[in-house]
Amino acid sequence: MALEWLYTLISVILVSLLSLIGIVTISINESISRRAVFVLVSVAVGALFGDAFIHLLPEAFSKSDGQVETSLFVMAGIFAFFILEKFLRWRHAHILDQSNPVLPVGSMILVGDGLHNLFDGMLIAASYLVSLPLGIATTIAVILHELPQEIGDFAVLLHAGYSRSKALLFNLLSASFAIVGAIIGLIVGAGVEDFSVIMLPLTAGGFIYIAGSDLVPELQKERKPSQSLLQIVAMGTGVGLMLLLLLLD
């Protein structure tokens, strides 16, 4: 149990520190930054799908006595992330109706990111409670998804009127909710026998939703054949990373 706590906390601390990536984007050319994000999103799609279908779902079905129940938990994960995103966008739209449309957007980014990171922490904890390879796979998938998101969030916070130092600080505080989520997941997981049986398919559903609903539509906006080929190679790289982690089993 001590090792599970150690691995989980190291992972979520790394995920939280990703919020500082925004400072790097200040010093590099904007076109280079855009290309980097473009590739990272493609790799993240492959990693999220790969983790869901190669690691999480097989593990979830092997631990469950009921395949229908597990399938329902997968769909519950998809619906849960849809509802969360819908709620945040609804709040976002209503806040924009106010006379000051800029600063509230920054606040909503921080609130939404905090909730998202809280769930990420719980998902990582649940994965490490099952096995080390599954925990590493889920951590990599989260990191690859968070990198481009953190770069975008930092840009939005600057646009919302925050200074660079405040944008970094508040983004780091929001990201640190992953640590809170991990601690909750480890405590609950230690006391609830079927915690991983429930969390694994929920995690898979969430990853499938994020990759398929949020990220793939962004990739479809690219029409150039050369860039589209690069997307496919990057997505394959993400899947390949998940396949390589099977060697740790």
- pTM across the whole model: 0.74
CA dihedral (216, 224, 42, 53) positive or negative: positive
Q: What is the mean pLDDT of residues 136-159?
A: 78
Instruction: Decide: 134 and 199 in contact? Cβ < 8 Å.
Output: no
Q: Torsion-angle region of residue 91: left (phi > 0), alpha (psi -120 to 50) or beta?
A: alpha
Q: What is the mean pLDDT of residues 164-174?
A: 84
d(C-alpha 12, C-alpha 70), whole Å: 26
SS3 state of residue 162? coil
Q: Which two tokens stand for residue 19?
A: 């919020």
pLDDT confidence of residue 67 = 87
Burial 11-20 (b: 16+ CB within 10 A, else e): bbeebbebbe
**Residue corresponding to tokens 């793939």:** 216
Q: Which of 17-21, 97-101, 105-109, 139-143 has the lowest mean pLDDT?
A: 97-101
The residues, any chain, with a CB within 8 Å of residue 227's CB and separated by 6 or more, are 38
d(C-alpha 124, C-alpha 23), whole Å: 26
**More reliable by pLDDT, 95 or 106:** 106
pLDDT of 54 over the 50 cut:
yes
pLDDT confidence of residue 91 = 45
d(C-alpha 33, C-alpha 45), whole Å: 18
Q: What is the mean pLDDT of residues 162-189?
A: 87
The residues, any chain, with a CB within 8 Å of residue 11's CB and separated by 6 or more, are 124, 128, 135, 136, 139, 182
CA dihedral (181, 183, 188, 193) positive or negative: positive
d(C-alpha 107, C-alpha 208), whole Å: 27
Instruction: Decide: 18 and 150 in contact? Cβ < 8 Å.
Output: yes
